[in-house]
Amino acid sequence: MKFDMTRYLPILTWGRAYNRSALTNDLVAALIVTIMLIPQSLAYALLAGMPPEAGLYASIVPIMLYAVFGTSRALAVGPVAVVSLMTAAALSNIVEQGTMGYAVAALSLAGLSGAILLTMGLFRLGFIANFLSHPVIAGFITASGIIIAASQLKHILGIDAHGHNLLELIISLGAHLNEINWITAIIGVLATGFLFWVRKGLKPLLQGFGLSSGLTGVLVKTGPVAVVVLTTFAVWLFGLADRGVKIVGEVPQSLPPLTLPSFSPDLLGQLLLPAFLISIIGFVESISVAQTLAAKKRQRIDPDQELIGLGAANIGASLTGGFPVTGGFSRSVVNFDAGAETPAAGAFTAIGLAIAALALTPLIYFLPKATLAATIIVAVLSLVDFSILKRSWAYSKTDFTAVFATILLTLALGVEVGVSAGVGLSILLHLYKSSKPHIAEVGQVPGTEHFRNILRHDVLTDSNIVTLRVDESLYFANARYLEDKIHNRVAGDKAIRHVILQCSAINEIDLSALESLEAINERLHEMGVCLHLSEVKGPVMDRLQREHFMSELTGQVFLSQFDAVKTLKSLAA
């Protein structure tokens, strides 16, 4: 079999067709995204408990590696709010923030996450992410957004506070309210209010002055930069750092350093579960954004190759002073809207951030941490969506249970417990639902060959024949339920001579279910009733024919339900 390099190096595909037009569009998009990412990267480093320069480092090499290995033309990889929060939650339980050990643990977490993603991609295990249902993810992100916003209030108010869940944060904030630095609070509140206004009110105002929609969109995206410039200048001009306003301080002027994660078995063992959760959450968020944007241009995303791309990005972060990264929603949408045509836009963004790391870091010495906190709060509150509770309640009480439990547990016990519980609960609820599959007794619609539920339609039935349609594959969890359902239907009706199991919705029958079918066949035989099958799918029939069940079946296997009823009625006549 010929080895296809383009399978693992998508850059070979889009790189061949790269032209001047794509270059121009990618450069424009990179400029806009770079301006947006400078304050955002600093803010997410703060959220992760890392020094501010780590946010820039985590946004340079990872983007370039994704440009080589990723399949999305618009996805922008780097620090994101939820993954940064999960990083802080995981590491603060192991080492103290601000220490060298914390930074090494962050590198190790990124490296371990990268190794997990890379392994999943090479073995094509992207389907594992399917165990996280979208309602549960929505609930988790909503709860995480609330926790993130609450965790940044300490920077807005200029006080000390800590906590891994909402309750701990509220208690800690309440205990330190008497320590509020009012100058910091004014800066934080004004910055937050301005950023919210920029999102909602600036665009209509600029359009009212006759500016084009494209230009106003760019100016709105640069709102955080304006806040950074204004508040930094104010702190420097009025010497507010000497009055208790906490600032970013000195940030090294350098490109990302070469770093090495720890290979300590003890540390890696402690980080394994958080790394796995970060990998799955990050992949789900990233692939959702990538597929949404790709669909708009009828492009294709390869989930398994995306795992490889994100894995390479995280390994790159671990080797260059960063922390776990993934594809971000806001930066990717900006990248797409700005006209990015290829992943080269990400590489140009990395170059822009590298220039910023070398030349602009002295300018943010007086940047107040309250401004970065405001940037985070405004970004994450857009992720909070309680409408998922109303929607899931109206559509499915089971999904509502999973979503509500995920939100509640995440708020009460923290992100790791919340997402773990959400995954576990989703699987348990799925098993519970599928353990009691919908089984309908069906009859013939007059004048047709169609069969429908006797409780929903006016249909023809025969007192000697019972047809049950199982709307679920049969496996160990629901096999006994089918046994009980058939027994209860037949035991009280002496006229029944035939039971037809309509298998049109059965895609698989596992060994436990096969044993149940054997038991049903034998039990019905003892009652003087024949068991028949109809509309059995080819792959299911192939498996059944491997066992002795088919030779012991008391009835027949029919191609269609109509043939089954017609034949059995003629035999009775």
The residue with greater pLDDT, 166 or 209, is 166
Query: What is the predicted pLDDT for the residue at 75?
Result: 92
Highest-confidence segment of 67-81, 103-117, 319-333, 389-403:
103-117
Query: What is the chain's mean pLDDT, rounded?
Result: 90
- What mean pLDDT is predicted for residues 401-414? 90
For residues 314 and 327, give the distance between their C-alpha atoms in angstroms, rounded to a whole number. 11
Rounded CA separation 188/381 (Å): 16
Query: Mean pLDDT over residues 221-245, rounded?
Result: 90
- Higher-pLDDT residue of 420 and 184 is 184
Enumerate the domain spans of the chain. Answer: 19-425, 439-572
Tell the CATH superfamily of the 439-572 domain: STAS domain (3.30.750.24)
Return the structure tokens found at 299: 């492009």
Please tell me the distance from the alpha carbon of residue 33 to that of residue 77, in angstroms, as a whole number: 11
Question: What's the pLDDT at 299?
Answer: 83
| Structure confidence at residue 445 (pLDDT) | 96
Confidence of residue 432 (pLDDT cuts 50, 70, 90): confident
Res. 1: pLDDT tops 50: no
Is the pLDDT confidence value at 243 over 90?
yes
What letter represents residue 203's amino acid? Answer: K
Count CB neighbours of 411 within 10 A: 20
Q: Are strands 465-470 and 498-502 parallel, antiparallel or unpaired?
A: parallel
pLDDT of residue 291 exceeding 80, the answer is yes
Assign 454 to helix, strand or coil.
Answer: coil
Are 39 and 372 in contact, with CB atoms under 8 Å apart? yes
For the chain, percent of residues with pLDDT exceeding 70: 98
* Residue 224 DSSP SS3: helix
Conformation bin of residue 447: beta by default, left when phi > 0, alpha when psi is -120 to 50: left
pTM, two decimal places: 0.83
The residue-averaged pLDDT of 204-213 equals 76
Query: Is 138:403 a contact under the CB 8 Å cutoff?
Result: yes
Asked if pLDDT for residue 505 goes beyond 80, the answer is yes
Across 9-18, 122-131, 502-511, the highest mean pLDDT is recorded for 502-511
DSSP state of 256: P
pLDDT class of 130 with cuts at 50, 70, 90:
confident
pLDDT score for 132: 74
* Residue type at 461 in one-letter notation: T
Residue 300 and residue 67: Cα distance in Å, rounded?
15
Alpha-carbon distances of 197 from 190, 400, 407, rounded to whole Å: 10, 33, 28
Residue 93: band (very low, low, confident or very high) from pLDDT cuts 50, 70, 90: confident
Judge contact between 420 and 428, C-beta under 8 A.
no
295 neighbors 76 (Cβ within 8 angstroms): no
Q: Rounded CA gap, 391 and 37, in Å? A: 34
pLDDT digits (tens, 9 = 90+) for 514-541: 999 999 999 999 999 999 999 999 999 9
Under 8 Å between Cβ of 79 and 61: no
Strands 439-444 and 498-502: unpaired
Mean pLDDT of 237-260: 94
**Digit-coded pLDDT (tens) for 311-361:** 999 999 999 999 999 998 888 988 888 888 999 999 999 999 999 999 988
Amino acid at 81: A
The pLDDT confidence band at residue 419, using thresholds 50, 70 and 90, is confident
Mean pLDDT of 506-511: 95
What is the model's pLDDT at position 173?
A: 94
Which residues, including other chains, have CB under 8 Å from residue 322's CB and lie 6 or more apart?
54, 57, 58, 59, 61, 62, 79, 106, 107, 110, 256, 316
Interval 357-380: pLDDT, tens: 999 889 999 999 999 999 999 888
| pLDDT for 496 | 95
